[in-house]
A = this chain, B = another copy of it.
């Protein structure tokens, strides 16, 4: 039994990615953990109190270990009111009936983050994973004192080494294949879009803590390849999206199952940060538009995305997905997905 299994008390070192935005229902997280893998609440966009509720709901459904995934906040960038107006006009051209957000100052992500950490400590979870940066040293310290394992996300070896230095227990090596947001937080000379097969061995060579491979893994072949490359665990997202227990909306599920490996692309259009999703009209139309910084862009596109979800219109939703899409083939239960991955 590997370090990760022992330390987290799980049977399989398979992590369900902390997909934010209502995907990781208590049912999904609990089903993953009940199987013996590691479920995670994607709490990036949750308020502290929503996170508390989510943790309690998961606990009602499992007594197995599970985790929470948080976004490390960034210093808010000042944006001109006129830039906000321009973006709102742009969005109204694409979705004419939405109500634009004229004062996005209500989005207090930085303050909420401190409270999220408090909730994680108060409610007690087995591990807390982070993306978009290195958690502050006092945050790591505070989680460690409570016996909570801390997981960082790195897209380059340099980021991995910085996270290790800061004291995290494991590193998710996020390959370029991964769906959803890029965890990149240190600027590189090149493109920081390192494929998993290249990233994992280089990360494993330069780190002393366990590496969890993420990106493009969606079946047993990918999992076994990751172990050979030097990973001690794997993290999967897309395969869980069409599950009965997932909160992904039906149009999103249907689109995922229908699309192929070459249908995804990177975009900043939805949130202001690079993320991989199924290419659609919104991404296409926003290609030439200069997007506002995260999290402002995310706040401004919220209404458009909500409307698209309500209309079941995949052309204006954020359809985060990784590149192993042909391996994501049907709607079934989490237990069926995990059975295939482990036997």
Contact = CB atoms under 8 A, between A and B. Distances in A.
Given A216-B197, A228-B224, A326 B205 contact: yes
Interface string A173-211: 001110000000000111111111111011001100000
Interface residues of A, number: 49
Max chain B CB contacts within 10 Å: which of A206, A264, A323? A323
Q: How many copies does the complex hold?
A: 2
A198 B156 contact: no
A229 interface: yes
A184 B195 CA distance: 17
B156 A176 contact: no
A299 to B, nearest CB: 26
A190 B230 contact: no
Contacts of A266: 191
Contact of A157 (B190, B197, B261): B261
B229 A221 contact: yes
Interface of A: 156-158, 175-177, 188-199, 201-202, 205-206, 215-219, 221-222, 224-226, 228-230, 260-266, 278-279, 322-324, 326-327
19 contacts: A156-B261, A156-B262, A158-B260, A176-B195, A188-B263, A189-B263, A190-B278, A190-B279, A194-B216, A194-B323, A196-B196, A197-B197, A197-B225, A198-B218, A198-B323, A205-B327, A206-B326, A225-B225, A228-B228
